[in-house]
Amino acid sequence: MHIETELATPEEVAEFMRTSTGRLAQLRYKGGGPRFVRDGRRVLYRWTDVHAWVDEQVHVRTDRRANTAGA
């Protein structure tokens, strides 16, 4: 299996993100976290999706306003 398609458990992703599995469950419920795979009741994450989601969370300011060039 290639590293791009390797699957991770919620425990592995929580450790990587330095958060709890409960927080990941909240993100899954609200739809705001990394994409995930369901196999019956089992939840898995593709590492590529986890890394892509983390990259999307990078900010340059603490407020929620759009960062516009020249503003």
pLDDT tens, position by position, 5-48: 699 999 999 999 999 999 999 999 999 999 999 999 999 999 99
Q: Give residue 45's pLDDT.
A: 98
Number of alpha helices (DSSP H) and beta strands (DSSP E) in the chain: 3, 3
Least Cα distance to 32 among 68, 13, 7, 56 occurs for 56
Q: Give residue 61's pLDDT.
A: 87
Q: Give residue 63's pLDDT.
A: 83
Q: Which residue has the higher pLDDT, 70 or 40?
A: 40
Rounded to two decimals, the pTM is: 0.78
